[in-house]
Amino acid sequence: MDRVNHLRSLLSIDRINMEALKKFLEFELFHIGEFHLRVLSLVIIFVIFLVTKLILLLIKKTIFSRENSKLDIGASYALFKIIKYLIWVIAIGLILEALGVKLTVLIAGSAALLVGVGLGLQQTFNDILSGIILLSEKSIKIEDVLEIDGDIVKIQSIGLRTSKASNTDDVSIIIPNSLITTNKVINWSHQTTKARFRINVGVAYGSDIDMVIKILEESAHEHPDVSTIDSTEARLVDFGNSSLDFQLLFYSQNIFRISKVKSDIRRSISRKFVSSNITIPFPQMDLHVKSNSTEKTKDDEE
């Protein structure tokens, strides 16, 4: 009998605790018109936020794990960004539903406002759509070296509206995504990790052509950032107005700092030309002065 009473008392305590918890969760913090904010709504929002963060953390660890090494850093980053935006859109929708906001009614009621906002923020929406294209198409990835409007930049991050890059002076540049998708952009590292570059140089007529070609190729071979030595080639490309025009072709993986590589090779070429008595000509102009024959005849008569 005592045991039964004890169980009844425990059930009664549990019932009281449940009712207290229920009253606490249904406690109304404030209301505006038909909108009521209760403690339960805040708890649901916190749970949705926490679950969203945990899901994103697990997805991030899965995508960037060593076992998933088939994807490079750019592809992994793009895939995670797309998944992240989709999950947050779903989470925000659930949060609004927890607050009692009906999304269908909200969208239908604000259709005219959205049209006005869309016209005012047309460029912003264009950048956002371009960001979705970049992340899904993966034509531009993290660590890619791009040439945009004559500037060489390395992509550091791709956002939904803008992308962050750094130029050769290590200055951070914020680039609207529409600038990348609508303009002509050269991606130096899209297909391979190396690219072919060229250096143009002219020498005086009468120079030893074979010696010039040898010096050009040796100068490239000696530089540590020049790869695939067998593909390095010097050519006589034209007979210029005042010089024999040569072109040095070489491959390098140091795409982002290629200006420094070219400068080092040019310095080496200049030193070798001086030691081999090969001169680099500069444009010259001959000025012929022609006197007036009539004035000369008058002067002779006088």
203 forms beta bridges with 244
pLDDT(294) > 70 = no
Nearest CA-CA partner of 136 in 207, 66, 85: 85
Question: For the residues of 35-79, what is the DSSP string, one character each?
Answer: EEEEHHHHHHHHHHHHHHHHHHHHHHHHHTSGGGTTS-HHHHHHH
The pTM score is 0.54
What radius of gyration, in Å, describes the C-alpha atoms of the chain? 36
| pLDDT tens-digit series, residues 212-230 | 999 999 999 999 988 876 7
Distance of CA 254 to the CA centre of its chain: 17
User: Quick one: pLDDT band at residue 32, thresholds 50, 70, 90?
Assistant: low
Once rounded to an integer, what is the mean pLDDT over residues 92-110? 70
**What span, in angstroms and rounded, lies between the C-alpha atoms of 161 and 176?**
6
Out of 23-37, 45-59, 87-101, which region has the weakest mean confidence (pLDDT)?
Answer: 23-37
Q: Which residue has the tokens 């680099």?
A: 280
- Going by pLDDT thresholds of 50, 70 and 90, the confidence category of residue 299 is low
Which amino acid is present at 34? E
3-state per-residue secondary structure call for 78-131: HHHHHHHHHHHHHHHHHHHHHCCCCHHHHHHHCHHHHHHHHHHCHHHHHHHHHH
- Taking all residues of the chain, what is their mean pLDDT, rounded to a whole number? 78
The model's confidence at residue 21, banded by pLDDT at 50, 70 and 90, is low
Burial call 164-195: b when 16+ CB within 10 Å, e when fewer:
ebeeeeeeebebbbbebbeeebeebbeeeebb
Half-sphere exposure of 294 (CA within 13 A, CB side): 0
Residue 138 vs residue 173, higher pLDDT: 173
Q: 3-state class of 33 per DSSP?
A: coil
Which segment of 85-94, 129-138, 244-253 scores lowest on mean pLDDT?
Answer: 129-138
Q: What is the pLDDT of residues 188-200, one digit of tens each?
A: 776 667 788 999 9
**Angle (nearest 5°) at CA 124 between 122 and 126:** 70
Beta bridge partners of 251: 196, 227
Strand partners, 249: 198, 233
| Tokens 């997805």, residue located | 59
Taking the mean position of all CA atoms in its chain, how far away is CA 109? 38
